Amino acid sequence: MAARTALVYDEEMTRYKLLWVDPACKVEVPERLTVSYAALKARGLAARCVALPVRGATDEDVLLVHSEEYLEAVKQTPHMDLEGLMKFTQQYGDVYFHPNIYHCATLAIGATLQLVDSVMTGKVRNGMALVRPPGHHSQRSAANGFCVFNNVAIAALYAKKHYDVKRVLIVDWDIHHGQGVQYCFEEDPSVLYFSWHRYEHQSFWPNLQESDYDTVGKGKGLGFNINLPWNKVGMNNSDYLSAFFHVLLPVAYEFSPDLVFVSAGFDSAIGDPEGHMCATPDVFAHLTHLLMSLAGGKLCAVLEVSSGEAEDKPEDLVWPEPLSRPAPAVRTAVAFLPGVRSSVPQGCQRLEETSPASAGPAGRCGFVHAVLGLVLPLAYQYSPGLVLVALAEGSGVDVAAWAQLTSLLQGVAQGRMLTLMQGCEEDTLRATAASLMGEPTSALGPTGTLIPEDARVLERERKRLQGRWGLLQTAEPPRSIRTSPQLLG
């Protein structure tokens, strides 16, 4: 599989703007896209990615989600004068139209589909589409919340249609609920939709009762819609990581997606004038890393709304720059025990033979829940400078589960990891070396249901340790043991 990341961007998507006064829409500006791309260029990240060209969406693409009547109506907007655009806009909520917005909206879809094509054909491993207008609020026959067409929903159905993808996970970390995506898939058990969003007991936009936690899908899709409504502001790195460890990831591993989408809105980061959250930028890298262990690493991140600039930013609102993580010339080295000869992936450095140095719940499901519910929360809160993992013959841990563990733990200690293995089969050694080199781990497949005895063991350990380790908390902890908002700082 290709080892590179794609970036999709075209300046053409900046060529529309609000033509009249509308306080609700003034924050949706072309700079939302240009500033994001400029930041990637300034840090040298854009140059490290595979640049993909943008294409326009076809009518067939748009009609995967939207009605023909709505598509034909939007097609007329390039021919409208200012008065006509204002009148057309008034039938929708918190959105505006411009003579060039239909063109840009088709490019936003096309950019997302180009990314899907490249990931699914193996041209790249994963990637991000910087698009405008965003999409997750758009509904079958309605524009909404700056969104004209639903980019991610269209891409999910496109992947199912053209690549026979059976299960799709959509993770929406925008500060607003992506109700358009929820409506599209609420009866579809092949798409698992997870959204966290500022809610405050329905007082925050889009002010919908169906954005609450008890909306879990309908019919055959019952249980495949997960809403995590934040009923207060100020959520920090610990809150976001806990949501992944204790809510999203256990479900995602059981669901076992073939493809992962991220509706990547960054108004949920610190400094956004509307989100009012306290999660620092680097936590989003960790969230992305955690998702990359799913679906064999096939992940498509699609920009929704990026963070705005606060007009009244408090002087004391500061956050650290994410730590740099330079890649060494040789990432992975392997040392063999005396008399052991084995094959490892190309690129591993072989060390001289070494001398030997003097598990938890049974089964794959129990192992995965132990990793997600205990090991990762402890590792992230402890924030070590080095991770050491050991595996011995007869541990009962299978190759795929072990590879998942080594992959997930590379999110801490800036990827510095040492593995000690004794009496292991050659395929385990190869899988471990590949994981340490950054290759995507094989999908585990559906993990099944946690057996009652394993559940009791894990819950007992969590309760025993949670007084010291706040990330193990699954309910609001006492003030004395709350974790720091700068957990990753």
Closest CA to 71 of 51, 85, 57: 57
Give CA–CA dist 177/199, Å, rounded.
8
Helix (H) / strand (E) element for 48: namely helix 45-48
CB neighbours of 2 closer than 8 A, spacing ≥ 6? 122, 123, 124, 125
- Termini Cα distance of the chain: 33
Q: Which of 136, 137, 286, 369 is catalytic?
A: 137
Asked if residues 262 and 302 have their Cβ atoms less than 8 Å apart, the reply is yes
Asked if residues 171 and 291 have their Cβ atoms less than 8 Å apart, the reply is yes
| Residue written as token pair 């009496």 | 423
Give CA–CA dist 16/297, Å, rounded.
35
Could you confirm whether 137 is annotated as catalytic? yes
Q: Tokens for 450?
A: 């946690």
Q: What is the dihedral of CA 431, 435, 436, 439, to 10 degrees?
A: 120
Give CA–CA dist 91/94, Å, rounded.
10
Q: Which amino acid is at 138?
A: S
Q: What is the dihedral of CA 270, 275, 277, 283, to 10 degrees?
A: -60
Residues carrying an active site annotation:
137
